[in-house]
Structure 1
């Protein structure tokens, strides 16, 4: 049985409980989980064509809330750069990978309600999968969230709470609601089941590349859920003897909001404690990664360093240019989802995969 484990102080909790954070430090949980058996490429033939085909390495099995998520195409962009088309997911973003895990867990726990907070994509994914699971859901979003995303949340039947202020204010409002009895906090940041969903991104890549991985995997980083999922997967694949070396993790942030990149290049293990509440994030086209103080900052920085990777930043002009460039290649991707292409599009010395992780219809073309 998997258990929640606090990476800071070792506190444990039962995953059947509705506790959403460590009661000692109020930090996010990890999951103490070991795959039941090694994954075999030969055993994958004939399995369901979704992320649930990797059942040996998932902490939940036999789902009833699936929408067929996963198994997105991997296509070349240049001779060395390939793209994983996660904008082709049921709710048009990679967040479906983790949201289905949270909704399935919540369905089994039968809470009175589910709450989530998001800048848009995680909220739409949680709303959709809660609808599939017939769970009442409330999604908190910051003012200024794309109307197309809020429309999608409402369409799935979720209650929408628009919070004055920035992404941090939204998270604080959702966490206050999460403390109410009978509430399941479907947090893509605090609940580690989400990370075990996003790790399937790398398992699919490994399968599609014939049992290998590229030299590097680039991911956009705000709260770091895709990056930490990738780190989980590469660690598991290495432990199972299915790869010989880990690929470097290339973390990409918008230059306008790049606290992790700054800390990484300064050699820091985490973010400095602010004198008070963090200042609002600067405006950026990459709204999905505009996170001034990600709760898993230490884990993100450590994962990048352990992989031999680095942090890159991109300007607003680079984001605009990358979105238009991808569109001329046939891919209409939202502005957050083009950040990695903006950062590594001209690489020629090693193979790298970038995620195109949100559809352009969610935000429109950057002005």
Structure 2
């Protein structure tokens, strides 16, 4: 495979139809300031019987990915699918190289940045995405700065520093951190490795579903539960299920179950109200153990709400006590998962009679046990 961008790929704004070449460093739509989608044009199907013997990473699904070939990899992907109950299985994405599912998207951003050759890479994160971007930029020999909010787990900031990235701690919450990073991203020669605004990240996270499909012999469960803050895993899952259905590789799309912490659940509230967008005032943001999904105003809110409805899915919320109990329960089953990563098990648990896959998407070492 050639070391180039897919020739037909262009950035496309889902709101106003604006387009830009995928080689641009312009990280958002110049018309509305919103995040890009990626128009790849027709892409071939992934043949199940062609996967045997391929590389044991997410790059095995090369037909479905918008980059031809890869030099950047840490062997990410191919995480185990483990039964928890007769109906619920867990995908152990905390076994990724940086101990979270964010590696799926970060490897795509680092590979894209490597080809574009920026002077610097900038990212913002509540911890896991920043760690993943820092690691893959180190692998690609790219200078990287990661912005995190004050109060980010010290174990996550230690990981970021360990990979050689410059760490910028921003006073305030997640929105203040994003604003600081976006200001820095405006400097010439800067690649904004945003897991929210750059759609290449979503094409990395969609491999989560391709792996489930492969492991289940070319089928998918009745439902896929996903923790949702900025919605990057959810939107990747929606991309994958749409592609698999369009290619005739599945005969139905599973319902997508989006899980939010009750303390910060603007999307769940909008879904219950039948809204297509978030209201101007999303209500009070309270502290939550699920720091990774504590996002009061996700830029892709409209797309997230649409994806849930199109799949026939729903939103569920979990309390802080449910998060604590779920973390303890999983640990008793041999799985030590961070507090954000247990949200879907807290929501779905054993009380279901349909087949569901839940992600355990961050290692417990990231945050420790819930107090």
Q: Normalized against structure 2, the TM-score is what?
A: 0.97
The yes-or-no answer on 1:200 pairing with 2:207 is yes
Residue 329 of structure 1 corresponds to 333
The alpha carbon displacement at 1:282 in A equals 1.4
The yes-or-no answer on 1:187 pairing with 2:194 is yes
SS of 2:362's equivalent in the other structure is: coil
The alpha carbon displacement at 1:346 in A equals 2.3
Structure 1 segments unaligned to the other structure (5+ residues): none
Q: Deviations over 1:58-80 (max 9, x none)?
A: 00132111000000000100000
Which of 31, 37, 61 is matched with 1:54 structurally?
61
SS of 2:25's equivalent in the other structure is: coil
Structure 2 segments unaligned to the other structure (5+ residues): 1-7
The alpha carbon displacement at 1:344 in A equals 0.3
The yes-or-no answer on 1:110 pairing with 2:117 is yes
Residue 320 of structure 2 corresponds to 316
Q: Distance in 2 between matches of 1:38 and 1:229?
A: 16
Mean Cα deviation higher: 168-177 or 59-68: 59-68
Matched length: 364
Contact 1:52 1:61 in 2 (8 A): no
The alpha carbon displacement at 1:281 in A equals 3.1
SS of 1:336's equivalent in the other structure is: coil
Which of 300, 311, 318 is matched with 1:296 structurally?
300
The yes-or-no answer on 1:175 pairing with 2:182 is yes
**1:165-314 correspondence runs (5 A):** 165-274=172-281, 281-314=285-318
Q: Distance in 2 between matches of 1:150 and 1:352?
A: 33
Residue 91 of structure 1 corresponds to 98
SS of 1:184's equivalent in the other structure is: strand
Residue 126 of structure 1 corresponds to 133
Q: Deviations over 1:289-308 (max 9, x none)?
A: 00000000000000000000
The alpha carbon displacement at 1:38 in A equals 1.6
Q: Distance in 2 between matches of 1:270 and 1:96?
A: 29
Q: Distance in 1 between matches of 2:283 and 2:266?
A: 12
SS of 1:353's equivalent in the other structure is: strand
The alpha carbon displacement at 1:280 in A equals 7.2
Moved over 6 A (4+): none
The alpha carbon displacement at 1:273 in A equals 2.0
Q: Normalized against structure 1, the TM-score is what?
A: 0.98
The yes-or-no answer on 1:27 pairing with 2:34 is yes
The alpha carbon displacement at 1:36 in A equals 3.0
The yes-or-no answer on 1:346 pairing with 2:354 is no
Q: Distance in 1 between matches of 2:313 and 2:165?
A: 39
Q: Distance in 2 between matches of 1:191 and 1:78?
A: 36
Q: Distance in 2 between matches of 1:139 and 1:239?
A: 37
**1:37-48 correspondence runs (5 A):** 37-48=44-55
Q: Distance in 1 between matches of 2:86 and 2:283?
A: 42
Contact 1:80 1:347 in 2 (8 A): no
SS of 1:326's equivalent in the other structure is: helix
The yes-or-no answer on 1:156 pairing with 2:163 is yes
Contact 2:260 2:343 in 1 (8 A): yes
